Amino acid sequence: MAAIIDFLSWALFLVGSLFVFAGALGLVRFPDFYTRIHAGGVTDTFGSELILLAMALQSDDFTTIIKLFFIALFLLLTSPVATHAIAHSAWVGKLNPLVGKNLRYPDKREDL
C-alpha cells in the first residue's frame, strides 16, 4: 500500500512539473501579452495543484493534509483575481491583442 501511494505521489510530482515546465515554455514562446497570460494559467492551476496533491500523498499527518488543502483552495480562489487584474489593466491601458491565425494587430479596437 505504501509503495503504491509513493508511486502515485511521484507520478503526480512528475506530471505537475511537466505542466509547470510547459507553462514556462509557453510564457517565452507565445507572441504577445494576452497570450502569455494563458501560459501562466497552466502553472497556476494544474501545475501547482498536482504538486500540492502529491505532497498531500507524501504526508502521514492529517493536519498537514488539511493545510495543503487550504493552500490549494486559496490558490484557486486568488490566482484568477490576479490574472484578471493584470489583463484588465492592459485592456484599460489600450493595449490591443494580436488576433487571428496570422497574428495581426487590429486597426481599430472596434474591429475586435
Partner 1 sequence: MVRYIFKTAGRHLALAIVLGLLWLALSGEEHWSNPTLAVFGAGSVLLCVWLADRAGMLDKEGVPTRVFPGIISYMFWLTLEIGKANVAVVRHALSPKLSISPGMLRVPAYQASDIGKTIFANSITLTPGTVTVDVYEGSILVHALTEELADMEGITSMGERVCALDGPEGREWARQKRLEAQEAGREQVSS
Amino acid residing at 98: L
Does position 9 bind partner 1 by CB under 8 A? no
Residues 54-93 that bind partner 1 (CB under 8 A): 62-63, 66-67, 76-77, 79-81, 83-84, 87-88, 91-92
Nearest alpha carbon to residue 19 among 47, 39, 40, 41: 47
8 to 11, 15, 55, 99: CA distances (angstroms): 5, 11, 11, 41
In whole angstroms, the minimum distance from the beta carbon of 9 to partner 1 comes to 19
Phi, psi of 98 (to 5 degrees): -70, 140
On whether the CB atoms of residues 42 and 16 are closer than 8 A, the answer is no
Which one, 7 or 88, has the nearer CB to partner 1?
A: 88
Binding residues (CB under 8 A) for partner 1: these are 18-19, 22-23, 25-26, 29-32, 34-35, 37-39, 41-42, 44-46, 62-63, 66-67, 76-77, 79-81, 83-84, 87-88, 91-92, 97-101, 103, 112
